Structure formats: structure tokens, C-alpha cells
């Protein structure tokens, strides 16, 4: 029992240094291909819920920018993203999205999404 406790104390800092504790959110590269795919889904959902078509037409021209990205290993990978969307009139919207990626279904699913103006 003492050996298990000692190993736990010794290995916990190493696990934290290698990408965070299991089950917790960890920062990831905003340019990661899966992050970009998840961001496109968030923008598409943002467009469809607001009856907007202009931002969707911008996807090929990247009228959005991922400003922060985190992931959490759950039953799949949950991405927590903040995405700036440039509207046609020049306005900026910040979309916060939580998206699950379950590789065995080969699909992303939006779990939660909120939006508001970008801060100055």
C-alpha cells in the first residue's frame, strides 16, 4: 500500500507535465486539423441557427479564426473552442463551442454553443 501511495506521489507531477491530468482540459494547437474541422462545424451551426448564410460562404476563405482551443478525453475527445467569426458588415462575433469527436462514429457533434460580440 505504501508503494502505491509513493508511486502516485512521484508520478502525478510527471503526468501533469506531459499534458495535464487524465480527464482534465488541456490546451492544444489552434492550427490542429481536428480543431479546424470542429471550428468549421461550430461556424456552420452558428450560421444555421441565426439564419445567416454570409459567414458560411466564407468558410473557403477562412472568415473565422480559432483563438483558443482545449481538449478533454471523455468518451471520445471533447473540444472547447473560442472562434472569432468575421461578419460581412465587418462585425466580429465570438463563438464558444463544446464539440465531441467520437472517432468510431466518424462525426463531430455540438454539445453546447454560445455567441456574443468580440471584445475590443
**CATH number reported for the structural domain that contains residue 89 in this entry:** 3.10.450.10
Torsion angles phi and psi, residue 22, rounded to 5: -60, 135
Give me the domain span that covers residue 66.
23-117
3 is a domain residue: no
pLDDT at residue 84 is higher than 70:
yes
| Residue 42 placed within a domain | yes
- Between CA 113 and CA 79 the distance in angstroms is 12
- Residue 97's region, left for phi above 0, alpha for psi from -120 to 50, else beta, is beta
Residue 4 lies inside a defined structural domain of this protein: no
10 located within any domain:
no
Assigned domain for 16 exists:
no
pTM: 0.73
Q: Is residue 48 assigned to a domain?
A: yes
How high is the mean pLDDT of the chain? 79
Query: What are 17's three cell numbers?
Result: 507535465
Total of domains in the chain: 1
Residue 17 reports pLDDT greater than 50: no
Amino acid at each position: 500500500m505504501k508503494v502505491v501511495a509513493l508511486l502516485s506521489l512521484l508520478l502525478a507531477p510527471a503526468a501533469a507535465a506531459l499534458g495535464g491530468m487524465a480527464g482534465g482540459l488541456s490546451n492544444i494547437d489552434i492550427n490542429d486539423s481536428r480543431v479546424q474541422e470542429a471550428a468549421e462545424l461550430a461556424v456552420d451551426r452558428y450560421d444555421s441557427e441565426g439564419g445567416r448564410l454570409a459567414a458560411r460562404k466564407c468558410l473557403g476563405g477562412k472568415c473565422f479564426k480559432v483563438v483558443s482551443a482545449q481538449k478533454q478525453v471523455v468518451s471520445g475527445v471533447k473540444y472547447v473552442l473560442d472562434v472569432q467569426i468575421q461578419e460581412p458588415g465587418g462585425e466580429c462575433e465570438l463563438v464558444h463551442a463544446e464539440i465531441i469527436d467520437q472517432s468510431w462514429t466518424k462525426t463531430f457533434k455540438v454539445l453546447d454553443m454560445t455567441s456574443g460580440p468580440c471584445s475590443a
